[in-house]
Amino acid sequence: MSTQTLTIGKALNLGLRRAMEDDAKVVLMGEDIGRLGGVFRITDGLQKDFGEDRVVDTPLAEAGILGTAVGLAMRGYRPVCEIQFDGFVFPAFNQIVTQVAKIHARSKGKVAMPVVIRIPMGGGIGAVEHHSESPEAYFAHTAGLKVVAVSNPVDAYWGIQQAIAHPDPIVFLEPKRRYWEKAEVDTDATPGPLFRSRVVRGGDDVTVLAYGPMVKTALQAAEAAAEEGRSLEVIDLRTVSPLDLEPVYDSVRRTGRCVVVHEAPVTLGLGAEIAARVTETCFHSLEAPVLRVGGYDTPYPPSKLEEEYLPDLDRVLDAVDRAMEF
C-alpha cells in the first residue's frame, strides 16, 4: 500500500532513506545523527541500514561539517548536513555564504555544489537559548542559495528527495514544532515541482501568505474567520528563495488585500520583500496596504514567554481586520 499516515518527522526519514537507496553518492552528516538518530530522530535507523560511511556522526563543529561537505560535493557526492537546531547554524555561516553559495558561479559553472543543509526552524518547543530561531532571511538574501520551508508531511517526503537530487545548494527548513503533525502521504505519487507555492485554502476577502510552521496558524485563522463570515485564501509559499509569487498575484488581484505571516521578526524579514513585490505588481488591485505579522524585534525570549512572542491566530486575525477596515 503506497498511502501511509506519516508525521513530518517520519516522512523526512523515509524520504532520506529513499534518496539513499536511489543514489549511493548521498551521504548524511551531522551531530548524533547515527546511533542516536538525531535529536528529533529524523535519521533513526539509517546508520544501521546504510553504515557509518554514509551516515556520519560528526564532531560538534558546524563549520567542520559544512567545510567537509564542500569537499565531498566537489568530488561528486551529495552531502546532506543536519544542523541540530537553527541557532547552531551560525558557526557554519561563513562556509555557507562564501563557499557553498558561490563555488558554482566562481567556477563558471564547472563545479556543482549539490549540498542540502537541513535546519529545524522556529520556536514553540520550550527550548533554551539558541534553540529557536528563524534564520531564513539570511540565506534567502544570499545569491547562490535556494531556501525551502516545508509545512506538511507530503512536502517533507517529496521535498527532501527533490532537494537532494537538485544540482544547487539548498537550505532545507523543517518546522520543528510541527514534526509530529500527521497527514496521508502517497509514496508512489508523482510530486509537483519543488519551487512552487500552493493555494491550500480558497477564499475571496483576504490573501494570507505563510510558510513552514506558520501555515497551520494561517489555516486556523481562516477557520476562525469563516465563523465570522470572512473568507481567507491561504497560500503556502513552500519556497522562500526563489519566491513563486504568480499564484499570489492572481489571488491578490481577486481579493485586493494581503497579509504575510512568518515567525521571524518583521523588520527586514521575508514579509518585507513579499510586500514590496506584491505592491509593485498588484498596485491597482490593492484595497489596503500589504500587512505583515511576525515575531517582535527582540532576541528570542525564554521559553515561558515564547507564546507571547510567536504570531498566533489572534494576531493574524487582527491584521485581517485592519486590512478589511481600509
Helix or strand holding residue 84 (H, E)? none
User: Would you list the DSSP string of 120-162?
Assistant: EE---S---TTSS---HHHHHTSTT-EEEE--SHHHHHHHHHH
Grid coordinates of 119: 535546519
Active site (catalytic) residues: 131
Per DSSP, the three-state class of 276 is: helix
E strand map for 176-253: 182-186, 198-201, 206-210, 232-236, 239-241
Helix or strand holding residue 295 (H, E)? strand 291-295
